[in-house]
Structure 1
Amino acid sequence: MKLSEVVAAARATGNWTSLVDTIPYARFLNMSIDVKGDVFSCTLPFDQKLIGNPILPALHGGAIGGFMESTGLFYLLWHMDSSELPKTIDFSFDFLRSGRPENVYANVFMVKQGQRVAHLRIEAWQSSPDKPIATGHGNFMLKPAASSKGSP
């Protein structure tokens, strides 16, 4: 099945699991997408394979970073009318505290959307959205002439 068909089916049914399954790294992380009305969020369920420092224990920074970048890509697929996967131009992370061995959640904020580039801020958190464990800032290349579902 083509990505465009998977995205169309996810939009029609509201079930984004098949989209996650088409992206190997997202499938490896076992990510899930949760859309409730206009609120988009993702979850990274805890798995022992995600531990980077077994002494603390703490989640691996690469797993958290990859989760945040994937969250941004999935957000753009959900938010935009396009069914083509956006391309990451750059993505930077700020790790604020150690990720404990528990689920991680991410929220996305559209900073600016242009015709060809979108700039997003992603916050990853565990116990409370007010206490993020990491933030990410990314620029993503969009398909030219893509339109959005609405203003941020």
Structure 2
Amino acid sequence: MTEVPEPAHPRWLTESEQDAWYAWRRMFPLVNAEIARDLQQDSALSEADYDVLSVLGSTDGHRMRITALAALMSWSRSRLSHQLTRMEQRGLVRREEVAADGRGAEVVLTPAGEAAVTAAAPPHVESVRRHLIDVLTPDQLRTFAEVGETLRRHFGATRK
């Protein structure tokens, strides 16, 4: 009979750690939901639409290899493929083969996609200000940015 190891003792959260965890759990969905609701009302774009369009809008030539876009957005290739199909049906993006090597494909921002993200950006940034930026002090924003960068590096370092 194989011996089952005794479970490790959990490292329970301290009161201040628990306060931070609960604050994160309550804050993130509230802020995200408000900004997403505003985006949908103001532009008829989903968060996923806006994410893809804004990344493509900031690249040279408004195009990117699909694999690179998925990696940059921390999305699976399958998730991105389904999202791109929905966006192609609405004329916001198109897929093209990479002419230089014949392997892989790029996603390209269409004129309609560029117009959509250009129109959505001003009310979107105002929503981000209203629901996050303007609510925090400059010191809190610096800390928030540092925390976000620390967590991004942590997950970037652990993902293969």
Common fold by TM > 0.5: no
- TM-score, with structure 2 as normaliser: 0.23
| Structure with greater helix percent | 2
- TM-score, with structure 1 as normaliser: 0.24
| Structure with greater strand percent | 1
